[in-house]
Amino acid sequence: MGLSLLDLIFPRKCVSCFKFGSYLCNDCRDKIKPGAPQICPVCERAAIDGLTHVSCKNNLALDGLSYLFIYKPPISLLLKKLKYQFGTDVKNVILELALNELKNYLLMKRKLTLIPIPLHNLRRNWRGFNQSALLGQEIANKLGWEFREDLLWRIKLKPPQASLKGKARQANVSGIFSTNPKSLTAQLPNVLLFDDVWTTGSTMKEAAKALKKAGVKFVWGITIAR
């Protein structure tokens, strides 16, 4: 395939080593660490397949968590380029890595509805896209999962989680999500709650809480990296 004019003006280079040719060279691709061991999303200790420990389980908790990679270069650099530098052209690189890794996860065999962690409308309009929805929709399409953005809303605009630490993150997301009563039906789906990165898990836990309060019985979290 020939080079486009854009490629000639702004040649692609690896996000990690800056070698020209692609956003992820083969040498840096080999440095990517898969997510292991999986953890319980409540206590964050090792758990078989990411299943929430029986002792940690409660009515509003995530039922489990899967993260595909460890949040280190080059994965962290790819996600930052997508999220903060409007680098939507790296999306296909991330998708290729994610889909290849998902082959190792049993949850692929379940009938699921993928819901991306929503952005507040003002932040989405400013950024131009929601990176979790952008990635999540294509993953759902490839794996035959239903994709929905109408069940969960972000109703409060708060400072970005990346600017906060520790307990401030949890307080920052309290009450920021709401479910859409017009979209909730008697047959609620088994939900796969999707986000790009798990740091403390505060955002995803709060989103799961909103869905569980609305009557969703099964909510599993999945992120590209932790």
Residue 102's CATH number: 3.40.50
Q: How much is the pLDDT for 177? A: 92
Q: How much is the pLDDT for 210? A: 96
Residue 17 CB: number of other CB atoms within 10 A?
13
Q: How much is the pLDDT for 181? A: 82
Q: Containing domain of residue 115, as a range? A: 32-225
Q: How much is the pLDDT for 138? A: 95
Q: In terms of domains, do 101 and 163 share one?
A: yes
Q: In terms of domains, do 1 and 66 share one?
A: no
The whole-angstrom separation of Cα 38 and Cα 16 is 26
Q: In terms of domains, do 20 and 90 share one?
A: no
Q: How much is the pLDDT for 122? A: 75
Q: In terms of domains, do 19 and 46 share one?
A: no
Number of separate domains in the chain: 2
Q: In terms of domains, do 179 and 102 share one?
A: yes
Q: How much is the pLDDT for 226? A: 96
Phi, psi of 108 (to 5 degrees): -60, -25
Phi, psi of 202 (to 5 degrees): -60, -45
Residues counted in the chain: 226
Q: How much is the pLDDT for 2? A: 46
Q: How much is the pLDDT for 188? A: 77
Q: How much is the pLDDT for 1? A: 43
Q: Which of 220, 222, 195 is nearest to 208 (CA)?
A: 220
Q: In terms of domains, do 24 and 48 share one?
A: no
Ordered per-residue pLDDT tens for the chain, 226 residues:
444 555 555 688 999 999 998 999 999 999 998 988 899 999 999 999 999 999 999 999 999 999 999 999 999 999 999 987 766 679 999 999 999 999 887 766 678 899 999 988 777 666 777 899 999 999 999 999 999 999 999 987 766 666 666 667 777 778 889 998 877 765 678 899 999 999 999 999 999 999 999 999 999 999 999 9
Q: In terms of domains, do 66 and 18 share one?
A: no
Q: In terms of domains, do 45 and 147 share one?
A: yes
Q: In terms of domains, do 47 and 17 share one?
A: no
Q: In terms of domains, do 18 and 55 share one?
A: no
Which residues are registered as beta bridge partners of 13?
Answer: 20
- Whether omega before 37 lies within 30 degrees of 0, making that bond cis, reads yes
Q: Which of 66, 38, 59, 35 is nearest to 208 (CA)?
A: 59
* Cβ-contact 219, 191 below 8 angstroms: yes
Q: In terms of domains, do 128 and 218 share one?
A: yes
Q: In terms of domains, do 23 and 99 share one?
A: no
Entry pTM: 0.88
